[in-house]
Amino acid sequence: MRKIIHCDCDCFYASVEMRDEPSLVGHPVAVGGRAQTRGVIAACNYEARAFGVHSAMSTARALQLCPRLILLPPDFERYRAASRQILDIYRDYTPLVEPLSLDEAYLDVTGVERCRGSATLMAQEIRGRILAEVGITASAGIAPNKFIAKVASDWNKPNGQFAVRPEEVDAFVAALPVKKIFGVGKVTAARLQGRGVHTCADLRAWSVAELTQAFGSFGASLYRLCRGVDERAVRPDRARKSLSVETTYVTDLPDLAACQAALPALIAEFRTRFGRAREARAVHKAVVKIKFSDFTQTTAECVAQAPDDGVWQALLGSAYARKARPVRLLGVGVRFVDAEQPAPAATQFALFEMPQ
């Protein structure tokens, strides 16, 4: 039986800002882009959340809800520095640390003898060290697997923790809303609720065949997760699956020609970022993302071992045709070959060669 801790820092970006400028404490604070440039909120503290502000909300909307909101530009160098300190703390306890982002990670502490082998005591000690050494708070979930640990870390936020013991797993998961299941987004949750499925207990009435018929390959995952079964290991070397860049435009791009004209600059930015990433794996697919003026979005992709500007332009045309209306955001990127997937015969180098 595994012992998994999921640690998640509370309002991470905003917490770092309040740590470095204590006068911000007690005021509604958010980190994000300016409303004038169609920015979005990256993080906010609980004082801002009391007004209905949340991450991924447009900054303009956030300021409508909370006119006194203190909006700060992101400073990722400081956030990365804090993240490195936190990862060092985690690795004092176990080498099996799988970061999910700058502010959250899984830890597998199975067999670790610290704190008398108690994962609950380890989580408590880790959170105390993050507060003392980094100056921000974190919450934690403790459970026999990753899925339940991640759900549990949100149970007593902020600055709290919650443990689900092996004998408690069945009842704990049965009562969960289906939207808590890993991989269930708004669309899938709405489909399930439309069929009378609101909790994991409701979902257990479906056979694996019925779920697979309704949701494809994801149906098998639904069958396992609604029963609290998650066999994913904590992977310290978890590989990046994709790399992309995107831009939200101050003024909507009115038509396909304007999108085509904007794409080369985006591709150039992507090449720069790819070069810094030093990714060793081969490219498997090229991807273009569009968010239209009505906030709907679509993604077009194709197999491409070494996509050039023409590949992304073709994908752009395909994606744009699905809605054919003004565009507020464009993104380009690639997906990499999975570790289990054989690498394409061609090399990646051509993707990043400059035109002659």
Per-residue DSSP letters for 284-350? EEEEEEEEETTS-EEEEEEE-SS--HHHHHHHHHHHHHTT-S-EEEEEEEEEEPPTTSPPPSS-SGG
Q: Which residues define the annotated binding site?
A: 8, 103
Q: Which residues define the annotated binding site for Mg(2+)?
A: 8, 103
- Residue-wise pLDDT for 243-287, tens only, equals 888 888 888 999 999 999 999 999 988 888 787 666 667 888 999
Binned at pLDDT 50, 70 and 90, residue 238 comes out as low
**What is the helix (H) or strand (E) element at residue 253, kind and residue range?**
strand 242-253
Residues 6+ apart with CB under 8 A from 284: 303, 305, 334, 335, 336, 337, 338, 341, 344
Q: What share of the chain is helix, strand, coil (3-state, %, to 5)?
A: 40, 20, 35
Tell me the two tokens of residue 47: 């004082």
Helices (H), 102-217: 119-129, 146-153, 169-174, 186-194, 200-203, 208-215
Tell me the two tokens of residue 71: 């909006």
- Residue corresponding to tokens 């530009």: 73
C-alpha closest to that of 42 among 28, 27, 58, 26:
58
Could you tell me the domains of the chain?
Answer: 4-9+77-167 (3.30.70.270), 13-74 (3.40.1170.60), 170-225 (1.10.150.20), 242-352 (3.30.1490.100)
58-72 average pLDDT score: 95
pLDDT greater than 90 at residue 239: no
- Residue-wise pLDDT for 173-193, tens only, equals 999 999 999 888 888 888 899
Concerning whether 231 is annotated as a catalytic residue, the answer is: no
What pLDDT was estimated at residue 277? 66
Binned at pLDDT 50, 70 and 90, residue 92 comes out as very high
User: How far, in Å, CA of 145 to CA of 193, rounded?
Assistant: 26
User: How far, in Å, CA of 210 to CA of 251, rounded?
Assistant: 46
DSSP 267: H
| Under 8 Å between Cβ of 66 and 51 | yes
Tell me the two tokens of residue 100: 């999910």
Residues 6+ apart with CB under 8 A from 352: 271, 274, 275
DSSP 40: B
Whole-number percent of the chain with pLDDT over 90: 69
User: How far, in Å, CA of 104 to CA of 50, rounded?
Assistant: 23
User: How far, in Å, CA of 49 to CA of 115, rounded?
Assistant: 35
15-38 average pLDDT score: 93
User: How far, in Å, CA of 198 to CA of 208, rounded?
Assistant: 17
∠ at Cα 263 (271, 316), nearest 5°?
A: 110
Binned at pLDDT 50, 70 and 90, residue 304 comes out as confident
Catalytic pick among 17, 47, 98, 104: 104
| Backbone angles phi and psi of 287, in degrees to 5 | -135, 140
Pairing of strands 327-336, 242-253: antiparallel
What's the half-sphere exposure (Cβ side, CA atoms, 13 Å) at 334? 26
What would you report as the CA-atom Rg of the chain, rounded to the nearest whole angstrom? 22
User: How far, in Å, CA of 275 to CA of 352, rounded?
Assistant: 8
Phi-psi label, residue 118: left if phi above 0, alpha if psi -120 to 50, beta otherwise:
beta
User: How far, in Å, CA of 150 to CA of 305, rounded?
Assistant: 35
pTM, entire model: 0.75
